């Protein structure tokens, strides 16, 4: 019976259906040969070669014992060497002229005359600092591939020689290329030590402060050096190393403390300098520090405090380092109190001993303040005759000439010739407080030494 729409169910189209194939037996894949397989000689040779390749019988991964790292691992590669050639540039070094040298000192007393080609140790041992400075600069600028220690040694010789020649302003400018001597660039990457010599670092701290016109920079620099010294002292203690090494670094630490105090005095901050020197005292009495504190108090005008430092501790110079320093300072207290007659007697009592040179010069100055100009000139001239010619001596004698006559320039030139003749004869050049050994050295003198 047709449906309501008139459609015969028998005549309706059948839907597509999938017949189950589980009753079918799968056919085996037949071997076929393509066009590249038929009679191909390359394929045959490859098959034959592959059959001849030996099959490894050991595993590809090494045994566990072989994969472990060796007992002695390889050290890291050495860092590349640092280049310090920038310290050898010719434009760093200033030319040194003879215009600031009195004519009698412009010729060398040695036969044959010393020149910049004379060995540097010879120039230094004979106090020829100008030639030594020229020689050091010449070696630096003309010798390539110098090892760093040699570069630093020559650079220090140059700066120190200029300083000894009272050419500090030139040395200050030439110290600038070193820049920050505390930077990691100057540290050994393996040990952490600063590779610059200690003497060079101490000198450069002050010179760079002068070059940049900032003495506070020197205070900071000396504190940085003190920190390095403390680190080395701690390292010597922890490693139980050489006792001598620890002693050297303790002395260097004390040196830094003294340098800080000196800079504070130069800055005019006498109160801070006094407190600083007080802080350097470690409980026991130190005659050297007591003497420094007394001098600071004298600069401040506090005579009573200065006398207090001299009255404490040992008497008569029993301290091994002080060696009677207090005995030399005591007459200064009398001079500070305007008691020149008492000071004269105290200076006279010190003559004839180890302080003879210092006592004689200070006695002459004391007599000058007492109005005895002729006696002052006689005493200072006697020191020249005995072979001494240090800076304060010639300067004071030149001052006496200026106070005595209007023809002082002629007398000062005569004094320069006199000192040069004594040096060339082997009997002059001694420094203040030096003995006969120091008095036999030739030492260049500048116009400032004679107030020319």
Domain map (residue ranges) of the chain: 82-172, 341-452
Rounded to the nearest angstrom, the gap between the alpha carbon of residue 416 and the centroid of all alpha carbons in its chain is 35
Helical ranges in 102-182 per DSSP H = 120-125, 129-142, 148-164, 168-174
pLDDT at 111: 56
- Contacting residues for 385 by C-beta, under 8 A, at least 6 apart: none
> Backbone phi, then psi, for 194, in 5-degree steps?
-75, 130
Q: Is 337 helix (H, G, I), strand (E, B) or coil?
A: coil
Helical ranges in 5-147 per DSSP H = 41-52, 64-67, 120-125, 129-142
Residues 90, 93: Cα–Cα separation, whole Å:
6
Angle at 347 between CA 399 and CA 286, to 5 degrees: 110
pLDDT at 71: 55
Q: What is the pTM of this model?
A: 0.76
Q: Is 300 helix (H, G, I), strand (E, B) or coil?
A: helix
Please tell me the total number of residues recorded for the chain in this structure: 452
- Contacting residues for 109 by C-beta, under 8 A, at least 6 apart: 423, 424, 442
pLDDT at 189: 85
pLDDT at 87: 92
Token pair in block for residue 408: 């002082």
Task: Give the residue ranges of the chain where pLDDT is below 50.
Answer: 1-2, 4-7, 9-11, 21-22, 34-38, 40-51, 53, 55-56, 58, 60, 316-318, 322, 432-440
pLDDT at 425: 74
């Amino acid at each position: 019976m047709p449906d309501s729409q008139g459609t015969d169910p028998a005549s309706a189209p059948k839907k597509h259906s999938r017949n189950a194939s589980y009753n079918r037996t799968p056919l085996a894949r037949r071997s076929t040969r393509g066009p590249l397989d038929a009679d191909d000689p390359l394929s045959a040779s490859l098959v034959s070669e592959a059959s001849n390749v030996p099959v490894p019988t050991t595993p590809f991964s090494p045994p566990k014992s072989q994969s472990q790292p060796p007992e002695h691992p390889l050290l890291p590669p050495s860092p590349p060497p640092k280049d310090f050639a920038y310290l050898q540039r010719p434009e760093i070094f200033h030319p040194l002229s003879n215009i600031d040298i009195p004519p009698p000192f412009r010729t060398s007393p040695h036969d044959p005359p010393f020149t910049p080609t004379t060995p540097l140790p010879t120039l230094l041992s004979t106090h020829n600092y100008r030639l030594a400075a020229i020689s050091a600069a010449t070696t630096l600028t003309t010798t390539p591939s110098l090892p760093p220690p040699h570069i630093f040694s020559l650079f220090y010789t140059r700066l120190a020689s200029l300083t000894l020649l009272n050419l500090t302003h030139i040395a200050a400018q030439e110290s600038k290329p070193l820049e920050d001597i505390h930077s990691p660039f100057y540290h050994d990457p393996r040990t952490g030590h600063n590779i610059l010599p200690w003497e060079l670092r101490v000198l450069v701290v002050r010179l760079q402060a002068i070059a940049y016109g900032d003495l506070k920079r020197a205070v900071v620099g000396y504190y940085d050096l003190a920190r390095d010294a403390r680190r080395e002292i701690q390292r010597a203690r922890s490693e139980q190393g050489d006792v001598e090494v620890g002693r050297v670094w303790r002395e260097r630490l004390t040196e830094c403390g003294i340098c800080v105090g000196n800079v504070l005095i130069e800055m005019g901050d006498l109160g801070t300098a006094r407190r600083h020197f007080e802080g350097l005292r470690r409980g026991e009495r130190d005659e050297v520090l007591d003497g420094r504190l007394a001098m600071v108090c004298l600069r401040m005008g506090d005579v009573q405090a200065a006398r207090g430092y001299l009255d404490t501790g040992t008497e008569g110079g029993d301290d091994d380092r002080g060696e009677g320093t207090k005995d030399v300072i005591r007459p200064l207290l009398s001079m500070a109190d305007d008691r020149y007659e008492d000071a004269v007697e105290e200076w006279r009592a010190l003559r004839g001993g180890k302080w003879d040179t210092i006592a004689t010069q200070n006695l002459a100055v004391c007599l000058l303040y007492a109005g005895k100009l002729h006696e002052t000139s006689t005493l200072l001239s006697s020191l020249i005759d005995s072979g001494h010619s240090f800076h304060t001596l010639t300067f004071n004698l030149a001052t006496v000439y200026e106070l005595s006559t209007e023809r002082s320039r002629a007398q000062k030139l005569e004094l320069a010739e006199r000192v040069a003749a004594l040096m060339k004869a082997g009997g002059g050049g001694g420094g203040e407080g030096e003995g006969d050994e120091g008095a036999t050295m030739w030492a260049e003198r500048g116009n400032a030494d004679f107030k020319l």
